[in-house]
Structure 1
Amino acid sequence: MFGKRVILQLIIIVFYTITAFGQTPEYAYLVTTEVINSYNNYPITGELNMNSDVGRIEQVKYPATSSTIGNTYFDFITIPQGFSEVYVDVNQNDYMECDYSQPSETILKSDFNYGIIAAGLYMSNCNYVYNLYPLHIIGTNNVDPICPLTKVELTGGYDWEYLIGNKDDTALEWKVLSSATPTININIGDIYDKESVIINELPVDSEKRKIHFRTGHKASGKYVTPITYTVIGCSPPFKGYYNQTKTSCSYFKDGNISLKIGRGIDPSEQLAVTLFKNDSNGDILVSQYSTKQLSTTDSKIIVLEDLGGGSLYGFKWPVDIDAGTYYFRYQTLNEADTPQKPDASDSVFWDKLVKTPNFTIEKATNVTFKAERFSDENCFNSGDGKIRVYDVSGGTGEGYEYELNKNNNWIPFNPSNKSIKEVVIGGLGKGTYKVKVRDSKKCMAK
């Protein structure tokens, strides 16, 4: 036990030595002490004592007199590195019934920055109100990188400031974002618009793609470690499908579709698109392509075309699609990245995915027909037997042709009338014949 205390004291000494040289702490408390009363101008003292599992931190102590009523005092209290718990005691003494002591309150590191923790109590016959603001920034509901459409929630603060660019550049100025607010919600695009910075026009390595947020107490110039995000262009909005085709034949897998999106991409970006098929047992990842080549064995890429004055772009999916119901998920990424294969649901890497509506690739209608002996030969070896092919349907419906016995001699039913769905084939001798029928796209009956 004694050995542990010595070690902890050493930790505190090292910590405060580091802090003295200006290193920004990761965790701190901002304590506000409001004087609300005084009895006969007697110098009553309220004390707020803070300790942690690695040693004593600091004591907050202000007199309550007629001249200090209404004053609010601020204390920025750094918490030593490596702590897991903070203990807070509130006392008020030296004046009769105003003697007051609150049981020690334990605040865990895991609960550190979730709102204001009221360590003091307001009492009508006492003189102080304390509020403790835990300072340690956590960004929620987003992952890095973010885009201008991202709404960021930051918790664990008091006075908030932001900076775009290199935070170590002393020529750059931190700008006020919000004051006396534990939690803030901000739209990244609003900040960049205010600063007249257009993300899509910035080089990929531009320092202005970095935005930093810090919190602390502006009046005293004390802050905790800032949080930094990389800002990239948002994935373009989905605008619709076009040039959707079903399979050319019922037994082919050559359907296709094109997508319209709301913007092009800049040289620092790539557009990675993944095709998923709806399946009752779980959606199936079919294939993934990008505006850059992703595989040494597959050279196909997505090629964007301007569909309207730079505000509407489109691309054809670079491979054929089998009949079925599908959707796409796509996202813009840094051009240098190699996209992972996403799940059907969003993942950490795919944080700005756009999911398109379902679409269906129809299968071409199968060609069907019936065939029968129409008449035998009238005489021995007269060669005037006939076969009737009828009830032909399906396929393109734009005319049909037949073939006998695989002689690769396809003969149209009636070239001048595409609605003809029956033919009588004459000039046949005694024998067994095999008939094939196909439509105008050469799709055969199966």
Structure 2
Amino acid sequence: MKRKLLLLLFLLLYFLGFSQSQLYVISTDGTSSGYGDWNYDTLLYRQGIHEINSSETTIIIDFYDGYNDDPSYGCGGPCGQYQDHCQGVEIDINIKYFQDFLISKPDECLPLDYRAVLLPKITAPADRRCERQELFPQHSDGINHNVNGLVWEYVNNLGQWEELPNFKNRYPLNVSLLDIFGSNWRNYFNGNLQLRFKFTASFTSDVIYSIQNYTITLTECSPELQSLVPHKTKCNYSEDGSFTFSVDRDLVDTEKLIATLFYEYSTGYDLATNPQEVITSLTSNTDGTYGYTWQGDLPPGNYRLKYQTLKGSGTISPNDSSWASLESENFTLNPSDPVQFFAQKLNDEICFERGDGQIQLYDVDGEDGRTFLYRVFKVNTDNSMEIYKDWTNFSGNNTTINGLGKNKYRIKVKDNLGCLAK
């Protein structure tokens, strides 16, 4: 039988990253001209959804019009052998992904409205998605695509399908829950997110839904790091540094924050001495953030913090590769400034046993905001020492020690946190 071909050529060479494509034929409406039997038997891709292998680069849609006067077929057309109703029209169309394709031929030769869209096949992500992550990965070409007539729907908190409030025509839906619903996304549906999309056309009431419903398994994102403040060691020679970090939300339910610390060695970063802390509660700050201060003592050096949330029981490996986006910038723990001072003899004892010798302490310095004390030892002839004057506050940056008899003296200085000058 002769055929008139409506040829649809799909160029898939640039999209080999997808194993399959899906052809959504929205409408194949045709009307009889009254000359005989319209025959659509060889219409390869009728209305509906068709799986297309990526190896296929050409899709042929056959459409023909003919009649036959053989009485056994009950045809009332003119007598004679099979003839075409009219000279057919062959149309070659190149269609790429995401294009809304419409052929509308209302004339007698091709009374057809044919609308189709070719989409790369997508699947729901296998891992959990949190509210800041894209629900579906972006297409490999890196472009946000609009497909006319495509509308996404979700199952709302009443168990009913409802159109998404925005992002119509977007395919794939490479946006986040926050993009769609905002920070109160949990109020719109229960449990995990169920999605589907549908196609409609202005010239038909037919609706075609996605070949499957997509269930996105959800979890709350780990809190976002807002700030990190290093704390110096107490003394310049001690190894008791720490740091405080703040995140944008509190922990919920059975959620824990697993924080792991890395120290910079000469060969690169590796686990710190006290590498991991399991955090079950955060401190509310006055600015709406929530903070935590590292509990273990840390030596001065360069560090990096990584963290994840965990619900319920279980552990997270310190070397979990999925932490790449949940880490701080490099930060440095510094030692405090050392306590230092200078001392000089102002004068010896003027008269025997008068006890009017003087020593001046000056340029006393250390960590900002700290006060200083001094202690005077008398050194005996056997080099043993005894306290001559116990810890005394400095009267200022410079101070004079009075009432010293003829002898050898040793002086120690410390700050109010007990850090000694060395």
Aligned to 2:16: none
Following superposition of structure 1 onto structure 2, how do residues 131-146 of structure 1 map, counting pairs within 5 Å? 131-134=116-119, 136-138=121-123, 144-146=127-129
1:169-248 alignment, distance < 5 Å: 172-177=159-164, 182-189=171-178, 190-191=180-181, 193=184, 196=187, 208-215=190-197, 223-238=210-225, 240=227, 245-248=231-234
Q: Is the 8 A contact 2:376 2:390 kept in 1?
A: no
Say which is worse superposed, 249-258 or 126-135, in terms of deviation.
126-135
| Counterpart Cα distance in 2 of 1:224 and 1:408 | 91
Q: Quote the Cα distance in structure 1 between the aligned partners of 2:51 and 2:398.
A: 91
Greater share of residues in helix: 1
Asked whether 1:305 is paired with 2:304, we answer no
For the residues of structure 2 that align with 1:290 and 1:148, how far apart are their CA atoms?
A: 23
> 1:338 offset after TM fit, Å?
1.8
Q: Deviations over 1:103-152 (max 9, x none)?
A: 9x9x9xxxxxx63497x989999856653423622468xx8322334443
SS in 2 for 1:147: coil
Match of 2:295 in 1: 318
Q: Find the counterpart in structure 2 of residue 273 from structure 1.
A: 259
Distance 1:88 1:99, change over 3 A: closer
Within 2, Cα distance between the matches of 1:153 and 1:285?
34
Report the Cα distance in structure 2 between the residues aligned to 1:399 and 1:179, rounded to whole angstroms: 69
Provide, for residues 392-437 of structure 1, a one-character-per-residue CA deviation record: whole Å limited to 9, x for no partner. Answer: 422255223246567474845754724335547954658xx87644
After superposition, the Cα gap between the structure-2 partners of 1:145 and 1:36, relative to the gap in structure 1 and judged at 3 Å, is same
2:322 maps to 348
Distance 1:39 1:196, change over 3 A: same
**Deviations along 1:196-226, whole A, 9 cap, x unmatched?**
358xxxxxxxxx4322323466956764344
Alignment deviations for residues 25-51 of structure 1 (CA, whole Å, 9 cap, x no partner)? x974312456799999898878987xx
Q: Distance in 1 between matches of 2:42 and 2:384?
A: 99
Does the residue aligned with 2:187 lie in a helix, a strand or coil? Answer: coil
From 278, 288, 303, the equivalent of 2:276 is 288
Question: 2:309 aligns to what?
Answer: 332
- Answer yes or no: is the 8 Å Cα contact 1:47–1:90 preserved in 2: no
Q: Distance in 2 between matches of 1:414 and 1:438?
A: 10
1:76 and 2:49 equivalent?
A: yes
Deviations 1:284-306, CA, capped at 9 Å, x for gaps? 654332225xxxxxxxxxx4234
Secondary structure of the residue aligned to 2:322 is coil
Structure 1: distance between partners of 2:292 and 2:250: 11
Aligned pairs for 1:408-419 (under 5 A) are: 409=387, 411=389, 414-415=392-393, 417-419=395-397
Q: 1:154 to 1:368 in 2, by over 3 A?
A: closer
Q: C-alpha distance in 2, partners of 1:443/1:185?
A: 57
d(CA) in 2 for partners of 1:154, 1:164: 23
Query: Which residues of structure 2 form unaligned runs of 5+?
Result: 1-19, 65-83, 140-146, 201-205, 378-382
CA distance in 2, matches of 1:439, 1:423: 18
SS in 1 for 2:118: strand
The aligned residue for residue 163 of structure 1 is 155
Q: Distance in 1 between matches of 2:228 and 2:388?
A: 37
CA distance in 1, matches of 2:419, 2:388: 12
What CA distance in whole angstroms lies between the structure 2 residues aligned with 1:371 and 1:416?
Answer: 13
2:254 maps to amino acid: S
- Aligned to 2:398, which of 393, 412, 420? 420
Offset from partner CA, 1:145-173 (integer Å, 9 cap, x none): 223344434679955333379xxxxx944
Question: TM-score when scaled to structure 2?
Answer: 0.59
Matched letter for residue 288 of structure 1? Q
Q: CA RMSD in A?
A: 5.4
User: What is the rounded CA distance, in whole Å, between the counterparts of 2:270 and 2:29 in structure 1?
Assistant: 65
User: What SS class does the counterpart of residue 333 from structure 1 fall into?
Assistant: strand
- Give the conservation status (yes or no) of the 8 Å contact 1:155–1:183: yes
Cα distance in 2, alignment partners of residues 413 and 422 from structure 1: 14
Shift of 1:241: 6.0
Structure 1: runs of 5 or more not aligned = 1-25, 50-58, 62-73, 108-113, 166-170, 199-207, 293-302
Contact 2:357 2:404 in 1 (8 A): yes
User: Match for 2:338 among 347, 366, 369?
Assistant: 366
Equivalent-residue separation in structure 2 for 1:216 and 1:323 (angstroms): 59
Q: 1:29 aligns with which of 23, 26, 29?
A: 23
| Structure 2 residue matching 1:98: 3-state secondary structure | coil
Aligned residue type for 1:291: I
| CA positional deviation for 1:88 | 1.9
Please identify the structure whose Cα radius of gyration is greater: 2
The separation in 1 between residues aligned to 2:127 and 2:38, in whole angstroms, is 50
Q: Distance in 1 between matches of 2:227 and 2:90?
A: 72
With over 3 angstroms needed to count, the CA separation of the structure-2 counterparts of 1:284 and 1:422, relative to structure 1, is farther
- The alpha-carbon distance between structure 1 residues 60 and 378, as it changes in their structure 2 partners (threshold 3 A), is closer
Q: Distance in 2 between matches of 1:252 and 1:392?
A: 23
SS in 2 for 1:254: coil
Shift of 1:250: 0.9
Q: 1:339 to 1:135 in 2, by over 3 A?
A: same
Q: Does the CA-based 8 Å contact 1:393-1:421 persist in structure 2?
A: no
